[in-house]
Structure 1
Amino acid sequence: MEWMYAGLAGYLLGSLPFAYWFGILQNKNLLVEGSGNIGARNAWRVLGAVPGLMVLALDIGKGLMAVALGEFLARHPGGGLLGGCLAVWGHCYSVWLLGRGGKGIAPSLGVLFAVHPALLGAALGSFGLAYLLTRHPYRSVLLSALAFPLASSSLGASLAYLWFGFGVAVPVILKHLADWNRQP
């Protein structure tokens, strides 16, 4: 039962649409303005730098918090993996926005750092390498997300880390596939 609570808490925490709420405060609907994405980048574009940075910090924070809360509720480190993974899914497919959401990058950064700082380093490093090779940010995100399972499985022999890597990567990949041919 504790594992269910860890997963549910992670999903609900990840579902909190901070960018949407900041937009409402400025009489803007980020679902229809800018890119239509509920994330820090669109908040920055539509609302400005300060709200964009605040959304970024809150989205990273909810990823960090989901891991800590999941581990606490399940009384096991695996609960943190589950809570963090479902926070990314919640951000991408928010229950509060009827399945709409962001692209999962900011909460993923928080989740990866909370699970193991080296994972964040691997994600940023793989993004940087992919960007050097492709000069295309959207493709670089996809290629970096594909590396999540490999990077996370390198943390230990447990299959839980491999599944965690897939669980974080899949929603990010699904949200970025349409951008493969998009011009930066």
Structure 2
Amino acid sequence: MEWLYAALAGYLLGSLPFAYWFGVLQNKNLLLEGSGNVGATNAWRVLGAVPGLMVLVLDVSKGIMAVALGEFLARDPGGGLLAGALAVLGHCYSVWLLGRGGKGIAPSVGVLFAVQPALLAAALGLFGLALLLTQSRYRGVVLAALAFPLAALLIGGSLPYLWFGFGLAAPVVLRYLGDWNRQPTARPPQSGPRS
């Protein structure tokens, strides 16, 4: 039961849609404005720099907190891996937004930092290499995420890290695949609410 509690806690913590709530405070619906993405980048574009930075800090923090809470509830470091991966899933597919959400980068940063900073360094390195090769941050994220499970296994040294890598990468890949063909300089619509 402890592992189930860790999983549920991780998902529910990750699913907290801070960007959406900040939008509500300004009478804006981030699901309908900007890119329609409920994350720090769209919050910055639609709501401004200060709310965007606050959302970024909160989204990174919920990744860190999910790992700590998962370890505490499961009484095992593996509980942190499970809760961390599910926090990213919850961020991308929030129950409070009927399956909508962000793209998972900010909570992933928090999760990787909390689990092992070397994992965060590896993820950033993979992204930098993929970005250099593709000249597209969208494709760079997808390729880095696809390569990350192997890096997690090599750094963590055990199979749970491989499954953690897959669990962390899967929702990020799914959320970014739709942007695969977007041009490097293209930006999502900046107009008002969509019809």
Q: Deviations over 1:32-82 (max 9, x none)?
A: 000000001100110111111111110000000000000000000000000
CA distance in 1, matches of 2:32, 2:56: 19
- Runs of 4 or more off by more than 3 Å in structure 1? none
Mapped partners of 1:183, 1:61: distance in 2:
31
- For 2:55 and 2:155, locate their aligned partners in 1 and report how far apart those are by CA, in whole Å: 30
**What amino acid is aligned across from residue 52 of structure 1 in structure 2?**
G
Q: What's the counterpart of residue 124 of structure 2? A: 124
Letter of the 2:137 counterpart: P
Contiguous gaps of at least 5 residues in structure 1: none
> Take 1:20 and 1:98, find their aligned partners in 2: how far apart are those partners?
13
1:168 corresponds to which residue?
A: 168
State the partner residue of 1:142: 142
Deviates most, 139-148 or 14-23? 139-148
Q: Which residue of structure 1 aligns with residue 30 of structure 2?
A: 30
Letter in 2 for 1:183: Q
Correspondence list, 1:59-138, <5 A: 59-138=59-138
Equivalent-residue separation in structure 1 for 2:34 and 2:174 (angstroms): 20
Q: How does 1:2-21 map to 2 (within 5 A)?
A: 2-21=2-21
Give the Cα–Cα distance (whole angstroms) in 1 for the partners of residues 183 and 21 of structure 2.
28
The total of aligned residue pairs comes to 184
Equivalent-residue separation in structure 2 for 1:36 and 1:154 (angstroms): 36
Q: CA deviation at 1:151?
A: 1.3
Question: Cα distance, 1:158 vs. partner?
Answer: 2.0
Q: CA deviation at 1:137?
A: 0.7
Cα deviation, residue 126, structure 1? 0.9
Counterpart residue type for residue 104 of structure 2: G
Give the partner amino acid of 1:80: G
Q: Unaligned 5+ residue runs, structure 2? A: 185-195
Q: Distance in 2 between matches of 1:132 and 1:177?
A: 18
Q: Report deviation, 1:107.
A: 0.4
The residue that corresponds to 1:45 in the other structure is 45
Amino acid at match of 1:59: D
* Percent of aligned pairs sharing the same letter: 80
156 and 124 in structure 1: CA distance in 2 versus 1, 3 angstrom threshold: closer
Q: What CA distance in whole angstroms lies between the structure 2 residues aligned with 1:174 and 1:128?
A: 20
Higher alpha-carbon deviation: 97-106 or 151-160:
151-160
